[in-house]
Amino acid sequence: IESFLMYSVHEGIRGIPLDPTDKMDALMPISGTAFAVGIDFHAENDTIYWTDMGLNKISRAKRDQTWKEDIVTNGLGRVEGIAVDWIAGNIYWTDHGFNLIEVARLNGSFRYVIISQGLDQPRSIAVHPEKG
Q: What is the pLDDT of residues 70-85, one digit of tens each?
A: 999 999 999 999 999 9
Predicted confidence at residue 11, as pLDDT, reads 75
First to last CA, the chain: 28
* Beta strand segments in 18-127, E: 27-30, 36-42, 47-52, 57-62, 68-72, 79-85, 90-95, 100-105, 112-115
User: Is the pLDDT at 97 greater than 80, yes or no?
Assistant: yes
Task: Report angle CA 6, 122, 106 to the nearest 5 degrees.
Answer: 55
Find the mean pLDDT for residues 83-100: 96
Predicted confidence at residue 99, as pLDDT, reads 95
| Torsion sign across C-alpha atoms 42, 108, 61, 22 | negative
User: Is the pLDDT at 29 greater than 90, yes or no?
Assistant: no
Find the mean pLDDT for residues 43-50: 92
Find the mean pLDDT for residues 8-12: 82
Predicted confidence at residue 26, as pLDDT, reads 80
Spatial separation of the C-alpha atoms in residues 42 and 29, rounded to whole Å:
17
Predicted confidence at residue 132, as pLDDT, reads 81
User: Is the pLDDT at 19 greater than 90, yes or no?
Assistant: no
Predicted confidence at residue 119, as pLDDT, reads 92
Burial category of 64 from C-beta neighbours within 10 Å (exposed 0-12, middle 13-18, buried 19 and up): exposed
Spatial separation of the C-alpha atoms in residues 15 and 26, rounded to whole Å:
5
What's the distance, CA 36 to chain centroid?
A: 9
Which residue type is seen at 44?
E
Q: What is the maximum alpha-carbon separation in the chain?
A: 48
In whole numbers, what is the pLDDT of the chain averaged over residues?
A: 91
User: Is the pLDDT at 125 greater than 70, yes or no?
Assistant: yes
